[in-house]
Structure 1
Amino acid sequence: MSSVHPPELADLDLYAVWVSAAELTDRFDPFRFEHRMAAYRQLIEATNAGGLFGADNRDNPLWAWTFQLQWQCRTGRLGATAHADGAIDPDSPWAYGNYTLSVVPWLGAERAGVVAPLEIADAPATARFRYVRGGVVPDELAPSVEQWQRYFAMVEDTPATTDFEPLRIALWKAHKTCLDVVVTTIADIDPAPYAPLELTFLRGWCRMVDYLGAAAWRTDFGFMTEHGLDVLPEILLEQRSDMRRLPDSVRRNVANVLRLATTSPRRHALNLGLWRRIMRTRAARDEVLTLLDAVFDPRRDNAAARRRVIGHLLRP
């Protein structure tokens, strides 16, 4: 397996697990942290066989998934012991969400011929979520496998380019089909052993991802390391007072995510529809950082950006 990666990776906490991730050869056990990371590493490297995403693979849009997995493990969201022993709790809502975004893409890549088929290990015990069992994909996840297959097939058919937005659009479409299943699945579950606030945060994060997907948000290495790190809480959220322990920028982001989670379905659908209209042009998507800040954190110093939001919304 190739080890090509952006040189800046060595400066991140992701580096240690990245370089130690052994290649999956016979079996993919998604209830082991190191296996999920190894799967991402193989997908990132397999999709750059022709150098599509640069000599050091920095433009590969799958990098964001590695950072998310590392954050979830580091902060205890994959289970109480995952950071220490690598065991992922099949009953953890965050772990289930990441399962749909690791195993399902892997299966899509298999069908597209990007990676070799592997045995997918069953959950180690009876679990409250539905997983691939005996090689059979749950019905609710089967359409997502097809969407990921389309994404990986598109990567294989893409010639050398400097415009990766069409690939990002396809990737976010596949990503959303997974999270739609997650949102439905966790709608009425008992949050224990996690606090209700933590589950609310997960629901809100799924909704926030709808906004990112509508903007074809960049998920390559450079963009993520500049704009996508240090924006999520490094602690589990037990109660609202925990937010006082967070850095200002993280606290504002968490507050926005929690606000999204508690917005009524009808209002959320309306707001998201308006956002999608705003993001329908390349010009708007190119300034998504500024416009997203203006929508979610209106202040005196971003009044001009809010006026541009209205301009994009009203544009014929």
Structure 2
Amino acid sequence: MATGFPQELTDLDLHREWVAGHELPATFDPFRWTHRVAAYRALLAATNTSEAFGPDNRRNPLWGLIFQLHWQLRTGRLGAAAHARDTIDPDSAWGYGNYTLCVLPWLGAERAGLVSPRTIADPPTSSRFRYVRAGRVPAELDAGVEGWREFFVDLAQLEHTRAIGPTAGEGDEQLRMAMWRAHKSCLDVVAARSSRDVPGPLPQTELDFLRGWCRMVDFLWAAAFPTDFEFTVAHGLDVLPERVLSGPETATQLPERAAGTTANVLGLAKAGPWRTRVSLWLWRRAMRTAQARSDVLTLLDAAFHRRADNAATRARLLWLVVAPRRRPHRGVPVSRAQASGRGAGPPGP
């Protein structure tokens, strides 16, 4: 089994947690961050047995998940004493969100026969969130488990047909689409739960940021946004707030890139349902071609920021929205999301 990882990881802050996340024991306690790291390490290794993502696994799209966990851990979003005590507060809204993106993928991998089953530990205390208890998956989380099972099945099929080549290509993009579809099946539950939530332990601005992040997933899915090691290290390590947002003024005091992301995400959280549906429909139209999706960072910037220096890109973005849709060439595989017609029509009611 290929268990390599990129050498550059040793130079990153994540490496300390990577090393601490030892082999996952027979009982997976998702309220210990070292166990979540161990689960991600096991999933990364299990999905690269044929080295389809390279001998050091750098092209695996699951890297984004462990980087997200690390960001939440180091910024105190999993509980004030999480890092020192190897705990994750069951009442942490971010911890619950990551639970759906760690435990549910693990259970999906079990259903797909990718990893050996583990006993999932119950939360150590009562919580306002519903978790797996006594091995029973709450009804609202089962769609997430099934979504990840489908992802791992898709991955196995792509490996079998050699659709994943030595460089990023059609197979990689299909797999990213499948991953974002599974990702959304989890965060839809988090979004629905947070929409009914009161700030509680979280300040209102931070809760809004979480809600907006759940909405952002739709935009990233439409673009088959890359989450492999290289892309995340190059473009994703300085774009999120390094402290909990205690109020609106906090968002304006962040470094430039993090401030821009934070403003965009908070804007999505505050947008009305109709505006969100229209914006997403327009974005999906713009992302209909592989060429547009390959330039996602530039086009995202143009979509969210109106500046003199990106006027030409905004004009291009408008053309991508209104241009006639091209039919795929024969023989080119179509992702499940594309086959379902997702993004092809106007916003729903």
TM-score where L is the length of structure 1: 0.98
Residue matched to 1:311: 319
**1:113 counterpart SS class:** coil
**Do 2:100 and 2:186's aligned partners in 1 also have CA atoms closer than 8 Å?**
yes
For 1:202, give the aligned amino acid.
Answer: L
Residue matched to 2:215: 207
Instruction: Work out the number of aligned pairs and report it.
Output: 316
Residues 210-248 of structure 1: CA deviation (Å, up to 9, x unaligned)? 211110000000000001111001011001222343111
Residue matched to 2:184: 176
Tell me whether 1:247 sits opposite 2:255 in the alignment: yes
**Do 2:40 and 2:102's aligned partners in 1 also have CA atoms closer than 8 Å?**
yes
Of 166, 174, 193, which aligns to 2:174?
Answer: 166
For 1:285, give the aligned amino acid.
Answer: R
Residue matched to 2:75: 75
For 1:249, give the aligned amino acid.
Answer: R
Which sections of structure 2, spanning at least 5 residues, go unmatched? 325-349
Residue matched to 2:339: none
Residue matched to 2:336: none
What are the equivalent positions in structure 2 for 1:289-308 lying under 5 Å apart?
Answer: 289-308=297-316
Residue matched to 2:332: none
Find the aligned partners of 1:208 and 1:297 in 2 and give their Cα distance. 15
**Do 2:51 and 2:57's aligned partners in 1 also have CA atoms closer than 8 Å?**
yes
Find the aligned partners of 2:307 and 2:13 in 1 and give their Cα distance. 34
Find the aligned partners of 2:235 and 2:58 in 1 and give their Cα distance. 15
For 1:191, give the aligned amino acid.
Answer: P
Tell me whether 1:89 sits opposite 2:97 in the alignment: no
For 2:97, give the aligned amino acid.
Answer: G
Tell me whether 1:189 sits opposite 2:192 in the alignment: no
Residue matched to 1:108: 108
TM-score where L is the length of structure 2: 0.88
Find the aligned partners of 2:257 and 2:126 in 1 and give their Cα distance. 39
**2:83 counterpart SS class:** helix
Percent identity for Structure 1 against Structure 2 = 55
Find the aligned partners of 1:189 and 1:20 in 2 and give their Cα distance. 33
Residue matched to 1:217: 225
**1:234 counterpart SS class:** coil
Residue matched to 2:46: 46
1:9 Cα offset (Å): 0.4
Residue matched to 1:13: 13
Residue matched to 2:66: 66
Find the aligned partners of 2:323 and 2:140 in 1 and give their Cα distance. 37
1:3 Cα offset (Å): 4.3
Find the aligned partners of 2:300 and 2:198 in 1 and give their Cα distance. 32
Find the aligned partners of 2:277 and 2:132 in 1 and give their Cα distance. 31
Of 279, 289, 294, which aligns to 1:281?
Answer: 289
Find the aligned partners of 2:61 and 2:135 in 1 and give their Cα distance. 27
Residues 236-292 of structure 1: CA deviation (Å, up to 9, x unaligned)? 100122234311111111111111100001111111111111112112111111100
Find the aligned partners of 2:22 and 2:152 in 1 and give their Cα distance. 22
Mean CA deviation greater in 110-119 or 274-283: 274-283
**Do 2:199 and 2:207's aligned partners in 1 also have CA atoms closer than 8 Å?**
yes
